[in-house]
């Protein structure tokens, strides 16, 4: 089976990206054919500086490799290296009901946060559907908060298939577990746009400071506390064993435990968890040519698959190609 997913290069990679998505990529790459892309077309909805976007794109590719995505097992590529995806986006838009897009929560959330309510932001789910469908993907590993967009992709695949015949595979979301939604330091969903993220590859001092900034209530140290209502405890559970989580929960309820102690312990657990990846990333950062080579080969493989789909879609929709430029 083919698994596909992607992340925007719109800032530094954070814990929410890892536990909500990348951890699933790693779990799947040994079992399925993985296609994992850097969504730089999508990033244009929030990044309006070319130099910045290029650097963040290289950073994200380096992060992918440092965390363990293997180009011998998975296809790692840039969204923009497959221009056919924008062609499929337009064709899908011809069968996309306005009401479907109006119900998408991501548009409402982002405009409420101050992003310009432009066409790209509104039509984002159609491009996201094209990203998935053009590679005939079976599984889409995503965080729980992205499940609605996979449902949109399924709806559009069915609508195009009902109109023109069986052209596209109808994908299924693959959600690892309930930790797919990771809280930020303010208790909301962790997000670059909310400025509440804890970066995976920030320097050690910055990581520790970020954990110490996690918002907690004013319950005195001596008093019992509810672990299930605590953002620090939710972050701790990302790294803890079941036994460690149960022990800490009991300590919360018993009283006498300060939030600062848990914050420091959780920061150290995170640094220990990603120590090898942080070292690999430092090595990869010194060899950007290798990273570009990985993306170049991944783009070639991905585009070959996309062109197969588009040949069928063009034939079915009556869109001929009379000129093929030489490469």
CA–CA dist 253, 236 (Å, integer): 16
Which tokens belong to 230? 């605590």
CA–CA dist 217, 258 (Å, integer): 11
Q: What is the SS3 assignment for 171?
A: coil
pLDDT band at 121 (very low <50, low <70, confident <90, very high): confident
Q: Where in the chain is the domain with CATH 1.10.240.10?
A: 202-273
The arrangement of strands across the sheet holding 172-174 comes to 74-78, 33-38, 2-7, 139-141, 172-174
Q: How many degrees, rounded to 5, is the angle at CA 177 between CA 77 and CA 235?
A: 90
pLDDT of amino acid 149? 81
Question: Left (φ > 0), alpha (ψ -120 to 50) or beta: where does 39 sit?
Answer: beta
Question: Do 139 and 5 contact (CB within 8 A), yes or no?
Answer: no
**Percent of the chain clearing pLDDT 90 (strictly above):** 80
Based on the residue annotation, tell me whether 189 is a catalytic residue of this protein. Answer: yes
Which uninterrupted H or E stretch holds 77?
Answer: strand 74-78
Beta-bridge mates of residue 155: none
Mean pLDDT computed over every residue of the chain? 93
Q: What is the mean pLDDT of residues 165-179?
A: 83
Q: What is the mean pLDDT of residues 286-295?
A: 98
pLDDT of amino acid 143? 67
Q: Where in the chain is the domain with CATH 3.40.50.620?
A: 2-181+288-317
Q: What is the SS3 assignment for 87?
A: helix
CA–CA dist 174, 143 (Å, integer): 9
Based on the residue annotation, tell me whether 108 is a catalytic residue of this protein. Answer: no
Torsion sign across C-alpha atoms 173, 61, 69, 169: positive
CATH number of 202-273: 1.10.240.10
Chain segment 200-212, per-residue pLDDT in tens: 999 999 999 999 9
pLDDT of amino acid 302? 98
CA–CA dist 10, 181 (Å, integer): 19
Q: What is the mean pLDDT of residues 12-27?
A: 91
pLDDT band at 159 (very low <50, low <70, confident <90, very high): very high
Annotated catalytic residue, options 51, 192, 263, 264: 192
pLDDT band at 180 (very low <50, low <70, confident <90, very high): low
Question: Do 24 and 174 contact (CB within 8 A), yes or no?
Answer: yes
Annotated catalytic residue, options 108, 189, 205, 209: 189
H-assigned helices in the chain: 15-17, 23-28, 40-43, 50-67, 84-93, 98-102, 105-112, 119-122, 124-133, 147-164, 204-212, 231-239, 242-254, 259-273, 275-285, 288-317
CA–CA dist 64, 221 (Å, integer): 40
Does 116 have pLDDT greater than 90? no
pLDDT of amino acid 260? 96
Question: Which residue has tokens 């001092």?
Answer: 205
Question: Which residue has tokens 């069968």?
Answer: 95
pLDDT band at 176 (very low <50, low <70, confident <90, very high): low
Higher pLDDT, 144 or 214: 214
Does 20 have pLDDT greater than 80? yes
**Percent of the chain clearing pLDDT 70 (strictly above):** 96
Question: Do 210 and 218 contact (CB within 8 A), yes or no?
Answer: no
CATH number of 2-181+288-317: 3.40.50.620
pLDDT of amino acid 146? 75
pLDDT of amino acid 327? 54
pLDDT band at 293 (very low <50, low <70, confident <90, very high): very high
CA–CA dist 61, 142 (Å, integer): 18
CA–CA dist 257, 247 (Å, integer): 12
CA–CA dist 266, 272 (Å, integer): 10
Query: What single string gives the DSSP state of each residue in 128-157?
Result: HHHHHHTTT-SEEE--GGGHHHHHHHHHHH
Chain segment 49-90, per-residue pLDDT in tens: 999 999 999 999 999 999 999 999 999 999 999 999 999 999
pLDDT of amino acid 253? 97
Q: Is 203 exposed, middle or buried (0-12, 13-18, 19+ CB in 10 A)?
A: exposed
Question: Left (φ > 0), alpha (ψ -120 to 50) or beta: where does 11 sit?
Answer: left
pLDDT of amino acid 177? 62
Annotated catalytic residue, options 110, 225, 237, 263: 110
Which tokens belong to 250? 């009991």
Question: Do 123 and 93 contact (CB within 8 A), yes or no?
Answer: yes
Residue 205: alpha-carbon gap to chain centroid: 25
């Amino acid at each position: 089976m083919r698994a596909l997913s992607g992340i925007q290069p719109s800032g530094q990679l954070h814990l929410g990206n890892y536990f909500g998505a990348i951890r699933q990529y790693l779990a799947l790459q040994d079992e399925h054919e993985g296609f994992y892309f850097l969504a730089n077309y999508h990033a244009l909805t929030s990044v309006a500086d070319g130099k910045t976007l290029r650097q963040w794109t290289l950073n994200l590719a380096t992060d992918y490799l440092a965390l363990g995505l293997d180009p011998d097992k998975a296809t790692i590529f840039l969204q923009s290296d497959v221009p056919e995806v924008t062609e499929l986006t337009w064709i899908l838009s011809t069968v996309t009901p306005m009401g479907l897009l109006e119900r998408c929560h991501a548009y409402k959330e982002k405009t409420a946060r101050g992003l310009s309510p432009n066409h790209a932001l509104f039509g984002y789910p159609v491009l996201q559907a094209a990203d998935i469908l053009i590679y005939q993907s079976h599984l889409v590993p995503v965080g729980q908060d992205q499940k609605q967009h996979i449902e949109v992709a399924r709806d559009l695949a069915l609508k195009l298939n009902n109109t023109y015949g069986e052209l596209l595979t109808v994908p299924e979301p693959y959600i690892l577990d309930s930790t797919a939604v990771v809280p930020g330091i303010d208790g909301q969903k962790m997000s670059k746009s909310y400025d509440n993220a804890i970066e995976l590859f920030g320097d050690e001092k910055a990581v520790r400071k970020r954990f110490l900034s996690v918002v907690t209530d004013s319950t005195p140290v001596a008093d019992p506390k509810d672990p299930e209502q605590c953002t620090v405890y939710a972050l701790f559970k990302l790294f803890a064993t079941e036994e460690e989580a149960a022990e800490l929960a009991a300590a919360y309820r018993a009283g006498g435990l300060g939030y600062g102690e848990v914050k420091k312990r959780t920061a150290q657990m995170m640094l220990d968890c990603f120590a090898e990846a942080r070292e690999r990333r430092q090595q990869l950062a010194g060899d950007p040519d290798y990273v570009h080579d990985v993306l170049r080969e991944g783009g070639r493989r991905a585009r070959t698959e996309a062109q197969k789909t588009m040949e069928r879609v063009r034939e079915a929709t009556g869109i001929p190609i009379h000129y093929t430029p030489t490469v």
